[in-house]
Amino acid sequence: MAGDAPTKTGFISGLSTKLIALIILVILAVEVVIFLPSMANARAGWLDDRLNVGAVALQVLEAVPDDMELSADLADDLLTLAGAQAIALRHGDQSRLIEREGDPMPMAAVTVDMRDRSIMSLIMGGLDTLFSSGDRTLRIVGEMGGDDDAQIEILMPEKPLRDELLTYSRNIFFLSLIIASLTAFALFFFVEFALIRPIRRMTQNIMSFREAPENASLIVAPSTRNDEIGWAERELAQMESEMFSMLRQRRHLADLGLAVAKINHDLRNTLTSAQLLSDQVATLDDPQVQRLAPRLVHTLDKAIGFAQSVLDYGRQSATPPRPQPVDLRALIEECLFDAGLAGHPNIDAVNEVPDGITVKVDPDQMARVFVNLIKNAREALETSTATDSRFRIAISFTQQNGDFAVSVTDNGPGLPPRAKQNLFVAFEGSARAGGTGLGLAIARELTEAHGGQLRYVETPKGTRFDVQLPAMRRLA
């Protein structure tokens, strides 16, 4: 069946999965932004700790009298405590040094100046440590006890700092992942139960309703929810029950129409038999019969005409137009003939449609439109008592900003008020004796099936109907 919508989408293409992926991505991106300064901070804290331990070690050194050498064991202990290879204090020109005896000093060291505490340089330093190989030596420089001149320097391997930062980063990463996953799953369950399931339920309901719109048990039961979903459900339930009653009404009407068509069909056949009989009766010599027979024949003709047009109305509405290229002028010429205007003694029929206009329409249906309009004009003129000018019916062609129109104009008495009130309403619009009131309704329906419009145009005298058709209907 056309438009079969899947009721269950694949896990990957489902809305909730997309939502989870998006949330995890967003949270991880936010975490990266938060991670950089916090990692830089952790590194600064670690380095400050080293500087503090270094400062304590230097104070121990200060306590040793100048003329006494620091014992090698104590120096080793101090350096181990600070995790350093050497600690130096520079104060102006003077400097004091704690170093391990016999330990060769590394040749190159990367300077980390902790006196520059701008966030950018701390972040850059952190990234530098993280992406380094870890086998470098650091020369950590800091202030000593609030004295601007005194500077403490610690020489140490970068590896412990890098290990610390890596562990820190790993922890943050896993923590972020846990937070992101928890948030995503919480949202997933919310979205799944609060949105996706009701939407799926509605989609399923729409699908089953579409297949059997006359089954009232398929009308969705609206929830009592107060949000947009509840609103949509209530609107859907309302729409489905309206459609249900409309369809049921239509079906009853269609059934009635079918019954009328059947009765009408039989009626027409019976009337046709009666017509044959009346034709025979008319040949009888009896003067009484001769006087009454024409009236009988006329009445029967009218009844058959009525039955036929009702049948036609039922039949025509069912077939969609089958457009093909048609020469418009020739079509109008034929319609004038069919409407009984060829060589009419009192009416001039003027075909003003220029040569060479080709339109893409259903020739039979368009002919019915024009024949109905022209016949109406003819009937109005034939019953008109006006004598001031000669009767005239003109068919003209006009271009209307891309679209085009064929107008049927007459100089007759104009539309009677009763016809105007029920214009285009089947069985209601007739204002003439013997009229069915179907001609204009049929003409409008057929024009609309071609994507066009049938318009009554007010004129000071006579009547004008415009058959407006869209530009796509014109070929040349």
Q: Binding residues for Mg ion, per CB under 5 A?
A: 376, 439
Q: Which does 431 bind (CB under 5 to 8 A by kind): Mg ion, ligand ATP, none?
A: ligand ATP
Smaller CB distance to Mg ion: residue 370 or 391? 370
**Residue 412 contacts ligand ATP per CB under 6 A:** yes
Please work out the total of residues on this chain that contact ligand ATP, with binding judged by CB under 6 A.
Answer: 24
Among 427, 437, 431, residue whose Cα is nearest residue 418: 431
Which of 16, 278, 376, 411 binds ligand ATP (CB under 6 A)? It is: 376
> Least distance in Å: CB of 473 to Mg ion?
24
Quote the Cα angle for 317-319-325, to 5°. Answer: 120
> Least distance in Å: CB of 383 to ligand ATP?
9
Smaller CB distance to ligand ATP: residue 54 or 462? 462
Smaller CB distance to ligand ATP: residue 54 or 429? 429
DSSP string computed for 249-283 = HHHHHHHHHHHHHHHHHHHHHHHHHHHHHHHHHHT
> Least distance in Å: CB of 368 to Mg ion?
11
Smaller CB distance to ligand ATP: residue 176 or 463? 463
Among 90, 141, 139, 138, residue whose Cα is nearest residue 114: 141
> Least distance in Å: CB of 376 to ligand ATP?
3
**Residue 310 contacts ligand ATP per CB under 6 A:** no
Smaller CB distance to ligand ATP: residue 325 or 416? 416
Strand 110-113 and strand 137-144: the pairing is parallel
Q: Which does 205 bind (CB under 5 to 8 A by kind): Mg ion, ligand ATP, none?
A: none
First to last CA, the chain: 39
Q: Which does 240 bind (CB under 5 to 8 A by kind): ligand ATP, Mg ion, none?
A: none
Smaller CB distance to ligand ATP: residue 176 or 376? 376
Which of 79, 219, 419, 469 binds ligand ATP (CB under 6 A)? It is: 419
Quote the Cα angle for 48-174-26, to 5°. Answer: 105
Q: Which does 16 bind (CB under 5 to 8 A by kind): ligand ATP, Mg ion, none?
A: none
Q: Which does 85 bind (CB under 5 to 8 A by kind): Mg ion, ligand ATP, none?
A: none
> Least distance in Å: CB of 302 to Mg ion?
14
> Least distance in Å: CB of 226 to ligand ATP?
52
Is residue 476 within 8 A of residue 356, CB to CB? The reply is: yes
Element housing 324 (H / E): strand 324-327
From CA 361, how far away is CA 227, in angstroms rounded?
Answer: 50
> Least distance in Å: CB of 462 to ligand ATP?
7
Q: Which does 78 bind (CB under 5 to 8 A by kind): Mg ion, ligand ATP, none?
A: none
> How many CB atoms are located within 10 Å of the residue 214 CB?
11
Beta strands (DSSP E) in 130-213 are 137-144, 147-157
Q: Which does 365 bind (CB under 5 to 8 A by kind): ligand ATP, Mg ion, none?
A: none
Smaller CB distance to ligand ATP: residue 323 or 414? 414
Q: Which does 410 bind (CB under 5 to 8 A by kind): ligand ATP, Mg ion, none?
A: ligand ATP
| Binders in 35-54 for ligand ATP, by CB under 6 A | none
Furthest C-alpha separation in the chain? 168
Is residue 417 within 8 A of residue 429, CB to CB? The reply is: no
For the record, the structure tokens of 94 come out as 């003077």
DSSP string computed for 142-166 = EEETTEEEEEEEEEEESHHHHHHHH
| Binders in 344-373 for ligand ATP, by CB under 6 A | 372
Q: Which does 257 bind (CB under 5 to 8 A by kind): ligand ATP, Mg ion, none?
A: none
**Phi then psi dihedrals of residue 189, to 5 deg:** -65, -40
Is residue 142 within 8 A of residue 87, CB to CB? The reply is: no
Smaller CB distance to ligand ATP: residue 134 or 413? 413
**Residue 415 contacts ligand ATP per CB under 6 A:** yes
**Chain residue whose CB lies nearest Mg ion:** 439
Q: Which does 45 bind (CB under 5 to 8 A by kind): Mg ion, ligand ATP, none?
A: none
| Binders in 429-448 for ligand ATP, by CB under 6 A | 429-432, 435-441
Measure Cα distances from 47 to 86, 90, 149, 231, 470 in Å.
Answer: 15, 18, 20, 60, 82
Smaller CB distance to Mg ion: residue 412 or 439? 439
At what angle are helices 15-63 and 119-131 packed, to 10 degrees? 100
> Least distance in Å: CB of 329 to Mg ion?
23
Residue 396: beta bridge partners? Answer: 407
252-258 long-range CB contacts below 8 Å, 24 or more apart?
257/314
From CA 463, how far away is CA 378, in angstroms rounded?
Answer: 11
> Least distance in Å: CB of 217 to ligand ATP?
43
Note the residues at the interface with ligand ATP (CB under 6 A): 309, 372, 376-377, 380, 410, 412-416, 419, 429-432, 435-441, 463
